[in-house]
Chains A and B, each alone.
Chain A
């Protein structure tokens, strides 16, 4: 039994080697995330950031989910990698790179991905394995997963207070309002580019943390003191307004 499988393994190695000979029509792309505040690289645990409302804060943890990488081909067709999901954790630099495999080479007009999970993917229990299972979102708020956990401490009248800026699909806990605020959105970058196996295909995503709190909708920590963000329609909606400004995407030129 064991011997047979070893022979099979060796044979399949030969197979794989031969297949590589054909001119490759697919390749991998890497999406690299970096976290910043006004262009400076984000420093964890450092009480040096000030938002548009003037609140002084630091970031202790950040976890987020991105998904459904999509590419628009020059002929107008869209290629959606609808199973692709990636978890990014500020505490673990190995999560900063999201690799998408088997992307058809060619000329494209735009690239995008979903911040969070759209409603087709955001189903309770869909991701039972760690690390995504630590992102669970209460069933009574619609279930599924947190899109973002941005954990901060901020200084109010010299007292240090926690701020859990947690985003996800939100509905009223007591059932009084069943509209779901889904603050997932698509981050896109538009302009022609080539995906090719001749060079590394790298896209850089800058995440400017401070832009979650303004300027489109100013989120003043002092005013939302005592509000449970996960349960607040209002704050989830403000985050949806601010979100698109948080992300910016570039293609890296690699020789």
Chain B
């Protein structure tokens, strides 16, 4: 036996003993792994952190926190704010144009400061490996250590001036004092000790659990529904270069997320004044005015559209793609009808695309109790 193998075996035995010791100290309570029930054509590669595996107990805790206005660190009714204030289930976890708190869907934080952009719906994020937020600044390569993953979102939201405008110590102390949470923390993490880190992990687990895979188009793919002639025409146009040419950025049957989750400049502007575009993250000149392509699922609930909410109806969006596209040096090559100003479809064809887009409406996201307010 070579010396190398001997060393390895001794190493392994030491590890074995160490592992047994560690496992003896583990609490008796076991967590139940969270299971997704996904259609066969859905991606199976999930973006779940190795050190934060999803469990039924973690998701449950996360759901309670997501909907708890005391996340702001305050308890008087006027000063409560939580994730669900801006990410409402009835709007597919977007703010919604009909939001009584935020007229037109333009959100602001507790102290009234407007957010840089409009909200994004929190659906199918577990399949996104390309960074979070409109410009993708929350990503694994961010030089700032605690702005890299979904687990970091809570910390960001608590401290952001345009969101909860609070501080993590106060929030931690407040939640430690709330008795209704001690058992949930115990179940999820084997300890009732509250930390902002654990809160962030639980919320990330809940957000990751929100999945849309039951639209009419999904049922069509599963052979459980038929599309009308108009919807089929719309899909055909969506999927072809000489038609609407949407699929390069927004997917299709074989990419049922209806986004690539990549960043493009879709030709809305020729002057770029927003400091928080993709350029800020990559410093690549041609990323000026680029944002992450949103999923087209549940558009019915997610107005206003685009990062700045400039369009309030789907008709406005389609009108833009049809005839108002600008061919600037920054416009992405995939917008290759840009030199003609758009795809120039007939009103009948535009109506067909809209019908198709409506087949991506997934009521189950809006009604599923698993995602609803538990309080």
- Interface residues of chain A, those whose CB is within 8 Å of chain B, are 1-3, 6-7, 9-11, 13-14, 17-18, 20-21, 45, 60-61, 124-125, 127-130, 133-134, 136, 138-141, 143, 145, 149, 151-153, 159-164, 173, 228-231
Contacts and interface: CB of A to CB of B under 8 A. Distances in A.
Interface string B189-202: 00000000000000
Contact of A173 (B240, B284, B332, B335): B240
B15 A136 contact: no
Nearest to B45: A129
Contacts of B16: 7, 10-11, 13-14
Given A130-B43, A130-B129, A162 B333 contact: yes
Contact of B12 (A17, A134, A161): A17
Contacts of A230: 241
Given A136-B247, A136-B254, A138-B239, A130 B30 contact: no
B283 interface: no
Contacts of A21: 1-2, 4-5
A163 B333 contact: yes
A93 B16 CA distance: 38
A203 B24 CA distance: 49
B9 A18 contact: yes
Interface string B220-264: 000000000000000010011110000110011111110011100
Given A128-B42, A173-B240, A7 B5 contact: no
Contacts, number: 139
A24 B53 CA distance: 35
Given A124-B254, A130-B261, A231 B240 contact: yes
B285 interface: yes
B76 to A, nearest CB: 43
Nearest to B127: A130
Contacts of B285: 45
A140 B254 contact: no
Contacts of A152: 333
21 contacts: A6-B22, A7-B20, A10-B12, A10-B15, A21-B5, A45-B285, A125-B253, A133-B257, A133-B260, A138-B252, A140-B239, A149-B248, A151-B334, A159-B327, A160-B329, A162-B331, A164-B241, A164-B248, A164-B334, A173-B242, A228-B242
Contact of B336 (A14, A159, A162): A162
A97 B319 CA distance: 43
B41 interface: yes
Contacts of B327: 159-162
Contacts of B12: 10, 13-14, 17
Interface of B: 1-2, 4-5, 8-9, 12-13, 15-16, 19-20, 22-24, 26, 30, 41-45, 127, 129-130, 236, 239-242, 247-248, 251-257, 260-262, 284-286, 327, 329, 331-336, 338-339
A128 B254 CA distance: 6
Contacts of B253: 124-125, 136, 139
Ranked 7 nearest A-B pairs via Cβ: A10-B16, A151-B333, A17-B8, A228-B241, A129-B45, A162-B336, A133-B255
Contacts of A231: 240-242
Contacts of B248: 149, 164
Contacts of A145: 254
B40 to A, nearest CB: 8
A9 B334 contact: no
Contacts of A229: 241
Nearest to B38: A128
Nearest to B249: A134
A231 B236 CA distance: 13
A146 to B, nearest CB: 9
A129 B285 CA distance: 29
A136 B336 contact: no
A117 to B, nearest CB: 13
B339 A138 contact: no
B41 A140 contact: no
Contacts of A143: 254
Contacts of A14: 8-9, 12-13, 16
A134 B15 contact: no
Contacts of B1: 21
A233 B127 CA distance: 35
Given A17-B9, A162-B338, A6 B19 contact: yes
Nearest to A127: B254
A228 B236 CA distance: 15
B112 to A, nearest CB: 38
B326 to A, nearest CB: 12
Given A18-B9, A159-B339, A162-B336, A130 B236 contact: no
Nearest to A45: B286
B339 A162 contact: yes
A181 B61 CA distance: 54
B339 A128 contact: no
A227 B202 CA distance: 51
B239 A60 contact: no
Contacts of B261: 130
A91 B268 CA distance: 24
Q: Give the interface centre of B9, B240, B284, B327 by most chain A CB atoms within 10 Å.
A: B240
